[in-house]
Each structure stands twice: as C-alpha cells, then as structure tokens.
Amino acid sequence: MTSDGLRVVIVGGGFGGLCAAIECRIRGMNPVVVEAYPTSTAYGDIIDFFPNGGRIIEKWDNGRVSRELMSMCINQGDRFEYYMADGTLVWSEPWLLRKEHFWRQYAGHRGQMHQVFVDYAKRLGVELRFGDSVAEYIDGERPGVITKKGTKYFGDVVIAADGPRSKARQQVLGLPDAKVNSGYAIYRAYYSLSEEHKRNPYLKEFCNPDRDLTMMWVAKDLHAIIYTWNKGRDLGWVLTHKDSADIGESWSFSGRIEDVLKCIDEGGFEQKLREVVLATPESRLVDYKLVWRQPLTTWLSKSSKIALIGDAAHCHLPTSAQGGSQALEDGVALAVALQRAKGDVTLGLKVFERIRFNRSHVIHMSSIQIRDGYHTLDEETIKKHPETINLPRWTWVIEHDAEANAEKHFDHLAQDVRNNRQGTIEELSVPAEGDFSIAGRVDHAIMEKSLQASL
C-alpha cells in the first residue's frame, strides 16, 4: 500500500486547510480544497503566525513563500511594547526572540497573506474549488461531501477544516450546534496610512517608514493591540471588550465607531488610541463576537475516514496567539501521518489525532486563562510583575517542530492502534510537553541577551 495518489478532500480553504493541502501535495497525494468564499479578498484585518507555525512555511518552495510573506508582513519590528491604558510603558520585549525567527514569524494583512498560500497551492497543482460551500458530509467506505450547488466530491479521506462554524461538528461527530459566547468580543479593523495621518501628532509615530510597531494596552476587561507594517503604510488594530450579545445566527457584524469610542473612554485609554479609531473608515470596522467551543473528545468520524482540524477541532480565542499556528501544525502532522500510514487512512487519522490531541488541547484551553489574566490583573500587580501581561510565547510552544514530532511518534502510536491499546484519548496521545505556568515562560532577559549577541 502507498499514500501516493491518495485523494484528500479538504473542506475549508483557510490557512489550516491550505496547509494540509500543500503538505499532502508535497508528499504525492491529490488534495482538492472546497471553499465557500470565492477569493482571498474576503479575508480582512490581521493575523499572525509564531515560529512553531512559521517553521512549516519556511521550508516551502525553497524559501520563496517565506520571502513573499515577509515582503508584506512586519519585517522591521524591534520591540513588542505593553502599556497601561493611560500610556504608561510597563513591559517591553524583543519582537523576535531568536535570530532565526525572522523567517518564521509573520504578522500582517490576512487577505494578502492568504493569497500567498493560495498561489503556492496552485503552483503545486492543488485542485482549488472556491465559491461553493459544503452542505453535507458523507461518512462511509468512500467518504465525501455534497456542496450547495450539488457537486459531489469523494475521496479516500475527508478533512474538515471548516472553521468555528463547522458543519462537521454536527454532521460528522453528531454534536449539537453549541456556539458559546465567551462573554467577550473584538472590534477589529485594518486601513492604509496616508500623508494626512502623518500630520496628526497622535498618529505620526505609526507612519514611521523605518520601524514597524507592535503595541498593546491593558485595562479592566479591555485590551487593545496595534500593529503597523509595510514601511508605515498599513495599520491594524483590535480591541477586546465584554459583550453578551446573542450569537444564535451570526457572530460577525459591521461595527460602529461610536461604540468603540465608548469602550475607549470607559477604559481610560490614552488619546492615541482614540485617534487611531477615529481615523478608521467605518466600512473597515468589524464587530466580531468571540465564540468559545468546548474541547472535543474526538476529532474523527465513526469510520475514521473524516477528521476535523484547526478551528473546527479546537476553536481558540485570540489570546492564545496560536490559532493560526496550531492549524498549520495540524496540517503538517496530518500529511505526515497519512504518508506514513501508506494508504491505510483509518490508521493515519487515528495516529494523527494522538499526535496532536493533548498539545492542542492545552494550548486551546490557555486562551481563556490568558484572556482572564489580561483583564483581571489589577494595576498594582501589573506594575510589580509586568512580565505577567507579555505575549504568551512559552518555549515549548513556539520552538515546537510539528513535522519532526509527527515523524518521531508515528511508529509507536501506530503500534498502539494496531494492538487496540485501551485508554482515554488523553492517555493514548503524546503528552503536551508543557503547560502555561509562569515557570514555563521564556526567560526574556536571558533570551534578549542571546538575541543581541547573535545579531
């Protein structure tokens, strides 16, 4: 048996779905991606990938994909700065913790970055079917999907990378549509900076052509982040706030500037943030309700020929800073497992789940823990221990090599599957290899000295 020519039907053409398609294609499989949105232009605002996700990208097309991304992402960032709402600087750390992270750490406009993934998938010969959404999953000897237009796609394996609104949760796993409002939402926007913005004294620093900025402000039940890139021409911002709106039908709405300003004023944020919001075209403002999904007990269908990955399997809040990177880790681990299973799809998917389950579970759950830490720490605690609000970049998370990890664990996990070893999914899976205790964080003082010495 062999994985060559394996037909892999992937539902969802986001970053996780495209990564899975790319990695499967590199290994000789024949993936087809079915995606509801017709183009990448539907992907707005900002996204970031940290080194554990970026190291996967770094290998693609002899570094060409990395170079394309870096030309449009933060590439002049020197610091990540953390402020109290009033503008008091409380913590600062390097944007890159290691010299080699330059080609592994990306942050920029979601749509532009997504198009780079799409273009690479096309160069590899991945079959892309955009503009048609999946209506039905079929779990059987020959798994497949039927789209709203009536097109049928059958393959050897189906991968549901259909995001937090995943139909696969209900149709494949038999779960209720349990969208849970996390109690928070984010206002988010992206726009281009102009000569007019340069003349505003509050916005001038964001227009610096020689330095990309990454800044975060914290207040009670609020935190804001601003990114700038592309030589002072692009700016993206997010503001997380409390929100209990009904999300029964949708959780993404057009935002209103006046509502954001109310949050800014209630949080006591400095005028700089108010000016950033006032400069935002209201057509670019999104009010996005943060949905929480409880962890799943399995990602596999009854036949073990359909698997969920990315946000469909583990829907992170943005505070994990790992949603995108974990989707990429899923994609490469899946491809390795299918290749190593040599055509035995059920074996490959069962091993894939055991490679990824505990690690993604711990990181998934961390997003709530980290969010609560941002929003409940009092000002005195932050001033005494400012490192508690820094970006969650634990060494065991950001230095992880998902491809090597999948290769390392495949054989013994495959043996467990063949032997029908008993136990819970947590007991059968690879340990997470870390947790989110303070002791597990990167020692930023040591890391910064190491970084400076290497430059």
Torsions phi, psi for 221 (to 5 deg): 60, 20
Query: Residues with Cβ < 8 Å from 438, sequence gap 6 or more?
Result: 388
pTM of the full structure: 0.92
Q: Report whether pLDDT(446) > 50.
A: no
If you average pLDDT over residues 106-122, what whole number do you get?
Answer: 95
Residue 451: the pLDDT is 42
The DSSP secondary-structure symbol of 346 reads H
Note every long-range contact of 447-455, with CB atoms under 8 Å and residues 24 or more positions apart, other chains counting.
447/94, 447/97, 447/98, 448/93, 448/94, 448/97, 450/98, 451/94, 451/96, 451/97, 451/98, 451/99, 454/98, 454/99, 455/99
Q: Percent of the chain having pLDDT more than 90?
A: 70
Per-residue pLDDT of 168-187, as tens digits, reads 999 999 988 765 666 788 89
Q: Report whether pLDDT(292) > 90.
A: no
User: Residue 400's closest CA among 337, 355, 439, 366?
Assistant: 355
- What would you measure as the largest C-alpha separation in the chain, in angstroms? 70
Model confidence at 251, pLDDT cuts 50, 70, 90, reads low
Residue 365: the pLDDT is 81
Q: Report whether pLDDT(96) > 80.
A: yes
180-292 domain in CATH 3.40.50.1370? no
Per-residue pLDDT of 360-415, as tens digits, reads 998 888 777 777 766 666 777 777 777 667 677 889 999 999 999 999 999 999 99
Residue 180: the pLDDT is 61
**Top-tier CATH class for 7-76+99-177+296-444:** alpha beta
Query: Is residue 238 a contact partner of residue 45, using CB atoms and an 8 Å limit?
Result: yes
Query: Is residue 355 a contact partner of residue 405, using CB atoms and an 8 Å limit?
Result: yes
Residue 249: the pLDDT is 42
Q: Percent of the chain having pLDDT more than 70?
A: 88
Return mean pLDDT, the chain. 89
Q: How far apart are CA 131 and CA 80, in angstroms?
A: 38
Per-residue pLDDT of 298-332, as tens digits, reads 999 999 999 999 999 998 777 778 989 999 999 99
User: Residue 160's closest CA among 67, 70, 35, 61?
Assistant: 35
Per-residue pLDDT of 34-90, as tens digits, reads 999 887 665 667 899 999 999 999 999 999 999 999 999 999 999 999 999 999 998
Residue 305: the pLDDT is 98
- Where do the CATH 3.50.50.60 domains begin and end in the chain? 7-76+99-177+296-444
Query: Is residue 279 a contact partner of residue 197, using CB atoms and an 8 Å limit?
Result: yes
Exposed e or buried b for every residue in 348-357, given b needs 16+ CB within 10 A? bbbbbbbbbb
Query: SS in 3 state form for 231-292?
Result: CCCEEEEEEEEECCCCCCCCCEEECCHHHHHHHHHHCCCCHHHHHHHHCCCHHHCEEEEEEE
Residue 386: the pLDDT is 72
Q: How far apart are CA 404 and CA 106, in angstroms?
A: 21
Residue 447: the pLDDT is 43
- Where do the CATH 3.30.9.30 domains begin and end in the chain? 180-292
Per-residue pLDDT of 193-211, as tens digits, reads 999 999 999 999 999 999 9
Q: Report whether pLDDT(441) > 80.
A: no
Q: How far apart are CA 391 and CA 231, in angstroms?
A: 23
Query: Is residue 351 a contact partner of residue 417, using CB atoms and an 8 Å limit?
Result: yes
Model confidence at 443, pLDDT cuts 50, 70, 90, reads very low
Residue 63: the pLDDT is 97
Structure tokens at 234: 């692009």
| Separation in Å, CA 297 to CA 66, 166, 168, 320, 433 | 35, 16, 14, 20, 19
Model confidence at 455, pLDDT cuts 50, 70, 90, reads very low
Please tell me the total number of residues recorded for the chain in this structure. Answer: 455
